Amino acid sequence: MVKELLRNHSSVRIYDGQPISKEIIEDLIATAQMTATSHFVQAYSVIWVTDEEKKEKLGLLSDNPRQYETSGGAFVFCVDFKRLQMAGKLEGVDIVADSAENVLVGVADVSLFAQNFVIAAESMGYGICYIGGVRNNPAEISELFNLPEYVFPLFGLTIGVPARRNEVKPRLPVSAILHENDYNIEKYETLLPAYNETMEAYYNSRSSNRKIDNWTKQMADFLIEQRRPHIKEFLANKGYNWI
């Protein structure tokens, strides 16, 4: 049952607009909190955006307003070392938050936490969509939600009752992901062209937004230049000055 749920995930971008109750949101958060966390730091916080004006601004700052318009719940998932700084103060010490390791810990903690949240929500019949677009304007979003030093937005998330579900997008074959004992680069020469054929067939047959495209072209177009170069300066301004 759990495997079937996971294997049928697809992003939902249009919801029926029905709001999700505080009781359900708090239950999903409590469930998500039971995920693994590095050294028990629990370096995550969630902004639940119920103010319609702020939600609209979040959509614009994320360059993705459509994702928020019909959602039943809109959130910003944040890496949070401010709470840990406060814990240190209770013990009379200044914690060291300013390190590459702590950023990696925070990103891992938030990602694991969010995925537990997502799985719990999907098990209840809700749809979800992660929104990396919050990193387009992280300083402005931090100001919008009063995020203090050592707290920064990692991604947005919307949930709700789906108005329409998309077909499941084919992933890379397991053989492209799984390496036994040593990393095998040679296999990509045959695996990637085969995967391109799979993706071309998918894009040509899906029920909406049909197009001619494949995975390697998408990735080449996506990664041909540095993305979001402002993140380095933004993190430094948030107290992560090791960079």
What CATH number corresponds to the domain at position 60?
A: 3.40.109.10
Find tokens 């890496």 and name the residue: 79
Is residue 144 domain-resident?
Answer: yes
Is residue 178 domain-resident?
Answer: no
Residues spanned by the domain of 131: 2-168+233-237
Residue 79's H or E segment, with its range, is strand 73-80
Is residue 186 domain-resident?
Answer: no
Kindly state the DSSP code that residue 100 receives in the 8-state scheme: H
Is residue 135 domain-resident?
Answer: yes
Cα–Cα distance list, 84 to 13, 38, 93, 139, 167 (Å): 35, 13, 11, 21, 41
Backbone dihedral region for residue 95 (phi beyond 0: left; psi -120 to 50: alpha; all else: beta): beta
Q: What is the pTM of this model?
A: 0.95
Is residue 70 domain-resident?
Answer: yes
201-215 core/surface letters (b: 16 or more CB in 10 A; e: else): ebbeeeeeeeeeebb
Other Cβ atoms closer than 10 A to 233: 11
Find tokens 């799985």 and name the residue: 119
Is residue 217 domain-resident?
Answer: no
In angstroms, what is the C-alpha Rg of the chain?
Answer: 20
Domain count, the chain: 1
Distance of CA 99 to the CA centre of its chain: 22
Q: pLDDT 10s per residue in the chain (243 long)? A: 899 999 999 999 999 999 999 999 999 999 999 999 999 999 999 999 999 999 999 999 999 898 899 999 999 999 999 999 999 999 999 999 999 999 999 999 999 999 999 999 999 999 999 999 999 999 999 999 999 999 999 999 999 999 988 899 999 999 999 999 999 999 999 999 999 999 999 999 877 777 888 999 999 999 999 999 999 999 999 999 876
Is residue 216 domain-resident?
Answer: no
Is residue 46 domain-resident?
Answer: yes
Find tokens 């998500």 and name the residue: 32
For residue 65, give both structure tokens.
């307003």
